[in-house]
Structure 1
Amino acid sequence: MHVPDGFINAPVSAVAGVVAAGAVAVSLRGARRELGGTSRSNGAESGGERTAPLAGLVAAFIFAVQMLNFPVAAGTSGHLLGGALAAILVGPYTGLLCIAVVLLMQGILFADGGLTALGVNITVMGVVTTVVAYALFRGLTGVLPRTRRSTTVASFVAALISVPAAAVVFTLIYAIGGTTDVPVGKVLTAMVGVHVLIGIGEAVITALTVGAVIAVRPDLVHGARGLAAPLKLRVDGELIDAPAAPAARAASGAPAPAAARSTRKVWATGLVAALLLAGFVSFYASASPDGLEKVAADKGIDEKVQEHGAADSPLADYGVKDIGNARVSGGLAGVIGVGVTIAVGSGVFWAVRRSRTPEAPTNRSAESV
């Protein structure tokens, strides 16, 4: 759903840019808490510090998965937006920053998403998806049983709804500042219709990813903080719950074992997955236009589309210039994109965490984070 230059007029694009900048500024403040765990207990920092090393990885993973367009209808494809996934994994504020980093890299390096439309894209693909998805996710996890399965189901529903919600907001922006004279009702019907289908793909990818991380390290999933399967002991042939040692340790403020705190294996696994998806699997992605491109062509809202300002970039259109082999060109561009995104994202999130203001120790537990 990357909006190119020329779909939305300059004044509305500028307003969207201000909205996006304000959302990023607010997220920078909120991300300090999510990344740094500013709540402390008996001098021990809460679990939030584990989020910082993973935030850059989440941005790179979303970049990689966005390269995998999947077919949703005749002649139409879709791709992950990623707002729901990022918000659930690392928190809504950090999640929005992840999407902003991805969109910035795509716009500057790969000529994907207009430069003057960057504010529109961050608003639609970042702000709307993270806010809608995380609000739904929190609402569902508040009423469903506190289990891994319920958390995964909540992530599925949140991701599903977030995509057509983004389509609705794009249509509203088009109604205000569209550069072509197309009935808004037709645009809305077409956009919501195709993006409901894309939302199903988004929901599947989000649920599978969240479920996989929860299965091995629920403590690393922001939306699953406090969720842990009880340890089972076999007594007289029956399984019973063991004492909740991790919970007791957290309540006492004692640090978890180093093995439990380590994120190296998860980080390495995620990085390898992102590189494989972007460098190899992306070659098999659908070549059909995505939902917005298809609607724009069918309804005529792309009549005044402008050439991208970075159209001459060596990586434009997700290929390396002067490399004739499409498989090698696209794969290398994907690997470069993952590398640059994780480097820029990690730098941003490291700086945000370092900039937080230290707080005096309190008696609040890790649950208050």
Structure 2
Amino acid sequence: MHVPDGFINAPTSAVTAVVAAGAIAVSLRGARRELDDRTAPLAGLVAAFIFAVQMLNFPVAAGTSGHLLGGALAAILVGPCTGVLCVSVVLLMQGILFADGGLTALGVNITDMAIVTTVVSYAVFRGLVKVLPRSRRSITAASFVAAALSVPAAAVAFTFIYWIGGTTDVAIGKVATAMIGVHVLIGIGEAVITALTVGAVVAVRPDLVHGARDLRQKLRLRVHGELVDAPAPEAAPVAARTSRRTLWVTGLVTSLVLAGFVSFYASSNPDGLEKVAADKGIDKKTGQHASADSPLADYGVKDVSDARLSGGLAGVIGVGVTVVAGSTVFWAVRRRRAGDDVSATATGSV
């Protein structure tokens, strides 16, 4: 659902850029509360994994494909604020390096694919978790429903943005019907990928999954006639570090394999937005991408003639760049939180 340059006019694009910038600023502050020394490294990996899986277009209807948006997956694994940042990092890398999603439309894409999907999916997820039994199976089921709903929600958001600032004269009812219809189907694929991934991580390290933190029932003790929360037992540091490292390495290797090898077998059909744009005439004023001459444009390495090798190398480079960029952002966020904690402690001791 990457919106290219030319679909949305300049004033509307500027407004969405302001909205996106504001949401990122809020998310940076929120991520400082969500991330700790255990989960910060996972956030960079989540961004890289989303980048890799987005290369795997899957068929959903005749002549149409879809791909993961990733907002639900990121929000459930690392938290909604961190999730917005994860998807935003992916969109930025895709726009600059791979000419995927217009640079003037970056605000539109972040608003639609990062903010809307994350907010909608996490709200649905938290609502379901509160009413479902406290179990890992419930986390997986809630992930499926939340992800499934997040994709048509993004389609509705795009339709609204297009209604306000579309550059072509197309009946908004036709756009809405086509966008929502195809993205309901794409949402099923998103739900399957999200549920499988969340379920796999919850099975091995539920303590690292932001959305599964309620699985750990707090122990309460009666002290002097009052119930108080008992301190959490300390985990074995060496074993925990080894397990987190294993999870991180496994996730990175999986991302590299998906982007570097499996992506070659992805569907070549246009995705839902591209198909609707072509059928309804939304794409009449599509502009040339500012990064069209990038050596990695269109997910291929320039001057590498073998299509399989070219696409595979581009995917591996993309995963590497995204995990470095994402990890740098989240390391900085975590470092800022650590500095705030030290300042608060020092202030309190004065």
TM-score (normalizing by structure 2)? 0.92
CA-to-aligned-CA distance 1:4-44 (integer Å, 9 cap, x gap): 000000000000000000000000000001113xxxxxxxx
Q: Distance in 2 between matches of 1:224 and 1:333?
A: 34
CA-to-aligned-CA distance 1:111-167 (integer Å, 9 cap, x gap): 000000000000000000000000000000000001011110000000000000000
Q: Which residue of 2 aligns with 1:42?
A: none
More helix by share: 2
Q: Distance in 2 between matches of 1:310 and 1:19?
A: 24
Q: Which residue of 2 aligns with 1:268?
A: 249
- 8 Å contact from structure 1 (residues 60, 339) kept in 2: yes
Q: Distance in 2 between matches of 1:284 and 1:173?
A: 33
Report how far residue 50 of structure 1 moved: 1.3
Moved more, 92-101 or 257-266: 257-266
- 8 Å contact from structure 1 (residues 219, 226) kept in 2: no
Q: Distance in 1 between matches of 2:158 and 2:52?
A: 24
Q: Which residue of 2 aligns with 1:211?
A: 199
Q: Distance in 2 between matches of 1:185 and 1:16?
A: 22
- 1:286 lines up with 2:267 in the alignment: yes
SS class of match (1:179):
coil
CA-to-aligned-CA distance 1:200-251 (integer Å, 9 cap, x gap): 000000000000001111111100014259xxxxxxxxxxxxx99xxxxx93
- 1:103 lines up with 2:83 in the alignment: no
Report how far residue 268 of structure 1 moved: 0.4
Q: Which residue of 1 aligns with 2:236?
A: 257
Q: Distance in 2 between matches of 1:192 and 1:253?
A: 46
Equivalent residues in 2 for 1:29-44 (5 A)?
Answer: 29-36=29-36
Q: Which residue of 2 aligns with 1:299?
A: 280
Equivalent residues in 2 for 1:146-157 (5 A)?
Answer: 146-157=134-145
Aligned alpha-carbon RMSD (Å):
1.5
Q: Distance in 1 between matches of 2:181 and 2:25?
A: 33
Q: Which residue of 2 aligns with 1:39?
A: none
Q: Distance in 2 between matches of 1:184 and 1:19?
A: 23
SS class of match (1:113):
coil
SS class of match (2:282):
coil
Q: Which residue of 1 aligns with 2:190?
A: 202
Q: Distance in 1 between matches of 2:275 and 2:214?
A: 43
Q: Distance in 1 between matches of 2:252 and 2:241?
A: 18
Q: Distance in 2 between matches of 1:212 and 1:360?
A: 38
SS class of match (2:34):
helix
Q: Percent identity?
A: 78
- 8 Å contact from structure 1 (residues 7, 302) kept in 2: yes
SS class of match (1:303):
helix
Q: How many residues align?
A: 331
Q: Which runs of 5+ in 1 are unaligned?
A: 37-48, 230-242, 245-249, 362-369
Q: Distance in 1 between matches of 2:263 and 2:216?
A: 34
Q: Which residue of 2 aligns with 1:12?
A: 12
Q: Distance in 2 between matches of 1:56 and 1:196?
A: 29
Report how far residue 253 of structure 1 moved: 4.7
- 8 Å contact from structure 1 (residues 85, 210) kept in 2: yes
Q: Which amino acid aligns with 1:221?
A: V
Equivalent residues in 2 for 1:1-369 (5 A)?
Answer: 1-36=1-36, 49-227=37-215, 251-258=230-237, 259-262=239-242, 263-356=244-337, 357-358=340-341, 359-360=344-345
Q: Distance in 1 between matches of 2:179 and 2:135?
A: 35
SS class of match (1:132):
helix
- 8 Å contact from structure 1 (residues 69, 290) kept in 2: yes
Report how far residue 298 of structure 1 moved: 0.2
Q: Which residue of 2 aligns with 1:233?
A: none
SS class of match (1:355):
helix
Q: Which residue of 1 aligns with 2:225?
A: none
SS class of match (1:252):
coil
CA-to-aligned-CA distance 1:295-323 (integer Å, 9 cap, x gap): 00000000000010000000000000000
Moved more, 258-267 or 282-291: 258-267
Q: Which residue of 1 aligns with 2:224?
A: none
Q: Which amino acid aligns with 1:75?
A: G
SS class of match (2:65):
strand
- Cα distance 1:187–1:289, how it changes in 2: closer, same or farther (>3 A)? same
CA-to-aligned-CA distance 1:312-369 (integer Å, 9 cap, x gap): 00000000000000000000000000000000000000001111211449xxxxxxxx
